[in-house]
Structure 1
Amino acid sequence: MSLSHVYWGMIGCGNVTEKKSGPAFSKTPHSTLVAVMARDGAKAADYAQRHQVPRWYDDVNALLQDPEVNAIYIATPPNVHADFAIRAMRAGKAVYVEKPMAMNSAECAVMNQVSQETGMPLFVAYYRRSLPNFMKIQELVQSGVIGDVRFVHLRVHNPPQAEEIAENPQPRWRVNPDISGGGHFHDLASHQVDFLEYLLGDIHQVQGMARNQGGLYTADDMVVANFEFASGILGSGTWCFTVNPEQRTDETQIIGSKGKISFAFFNDSPIRVETAEGLVEYPIPYPEHVQQPLIESIVRELRGEGTCPSAGISGARANWWLDQIVG
Structure 2
Amino acid sequence: MNPKSVIKGRGAQLNVPNRFFEFSHETRDDFLEYCQKEGEKADKNKTKYLEVFPKTIINKVESPDVGMLYSMNAYQGCEHGCIYCYARNTHEYWGYSPGLDFERRILVKKGAPKLLEERLKKKSWKAQTIVMSGNTDCYQPAEQRYKITRQCLEVFLRYKHPVGIITKNALILRDLDILKALARDNLIAVNVSITSLSEKTRQILEPRTATIKRRLETVKTLTDNGVPVNVMMAPIIPSINSHEILSLAKAASDHGAYAIAHTVVRLNGAIGEIFTDWIKKTMPDRADKVLHQIEDCHGGALNDSRFKTRMRGEGKIAEQIHSLVRLARAKYFKDKAVPKLNTSLHETYKDGQLKLF
| TM-score (normalised: structure 1) | 0.32
**Which structure's CA Rg is the greater one?**
2
Higher RCO structure, 1 or 2 (CA under 8 Å, sep 6+): 1
Using structure 2 for the length normalisation, give the TM-score: 0.30
**Of Structure 1 and Structure 2, which has the larger fraction of its residues in strand?**
1
